Amino acid sequence: MTITPREAAEIAAANESGRQPVVLIHGLWLLAESWDGWRHLLEEQGYAAVAVDWPDDPTSVAEARSNPDVFAGKGVGQVADHIAEVITRLNRKPAVIGHSFGGLLAQIIAGRGLAAATVAIDPAPSRGVLPLPFTALKAAFPVLGNTANRKRAVTLTFDEFRYGFANAVSEAEARALYESSHVAAPGRPLFQAATANIDPGTEARADKKNPDRGPLLVLNGEKDTIVPRRLAYAAYKKQRKNPGVTEWLELPGRGHSLVFDSSWEGVAEAATGFLAAQGIRD
């Protein structure tokens, strides 16, 4: 069993409340606490929030920085299976919201038929998503530029974080986000995504045709460099072949940090608005 005490407490609270659960999945270089604002907003709207960890995630940014190597080696399949384990403990099928690699993982979970509805925010690419925009390659270069990083944990410099995450906010806010939220991340998922279209057995694969996928929204920040429009829209085009509801939304002026920077509340309102429109609310 890989469920952490914090996850177990949130699962129990969700089940005891009887409310519609919403599972929140973070991406690389962040922890579950990056969803803290969302959790409060979801609770105010009548949902039960469950923010999942990746296996072996530290409990805080301070702990993560004291032992960055704990992140090394984690892969997409291992994380997806952990999220599925959390979902099986819930009494109700949850809505799922994921950001970045969490957006890819949310699509994997939806493809397994485990989500009542899904919001994939700036999702990392999966098999079948073909564009390779320059900005995405540049943002990923701190990891992909050294094949040894496949087995390592990688910490971004401030300049790398500024380019990939925080290009759409002021430098002062970017520095504050870097100091408060940035942690090391496993290099392996980026290599898995980069090779997804040449590796037939890739774990970076979502079943986009499953009729039990449920409604899905791909939400993208206009100024995102890690997952620019071409990349996110390609995921949307693949997903819209599903018989279920599939929608696209681009938020102007937002970058990759949109779920935890000063613009997060508007992004959360867009995501929960989609859930409500699909009847995913008590």
Using the Cα atoms of residue 38, residue 40, residue 45 and residue 47 in order, give the sign of their dihedral: positive
Is residue 142 assigned to a domain?
yes
Predicted pLDDT of residue 1: 58
The tally of domains found in the chain comes to 1
Q: What is the pLDDT of residues 137-146, one digit of tens each?
A: 999 999 999 9
Using the Cα atoms of residue 42, residue 83, residue 161 and residue 205 in order, give the sign of their dihedral: negative
Confidence of residue 214 (pLDDT cuts 50, 70, 90): very high
Q: Is the pLDDT of residue 282 over 70?
A: no
Is residue 269 assigned to a domain?
yes
Domain that holds residue 13: 5-277
Tokens standing for residue 280: 């995913």
Is residue 210 assigned to a domain?
yes
Q: Is the pLDDT of residue 131 over 90?
A: no
Cβ(23)–Cβ(96) under 8 Å?
A: yes
User: Which has the closest alpha carbon to 140: 75, 235, 228, 26?
Assistant: 228
Mean pLDDT of 223-247: 97
Q: How far apart are CA 136 and CA 227, in angstroms?
A: 6
Total-model pTM: 0.97
Tokens standing for residue 147: 């094949």
Is residue 105 assigned to a domain?
yes
Is residue 65 assigned to a domain?
yes
Whichever domain contains 120, its CATH number is: 3.40.50.1820
More confident residue, 134 or 121: 121
Percentage of the chain modeled with pLDDT above 70: 99
Predicted pLDDT of residue 128: 93
CA-based angle 276:9:70, to the nearest 5? 100
Tokens 């998922």, residue?
A: 189
Confidence of residue 2 (pLDDT cuts 50, 70, 90): confident
Is residue 282 assigned to a domain?
no
Is residue 144 assigned to a domain?
yes
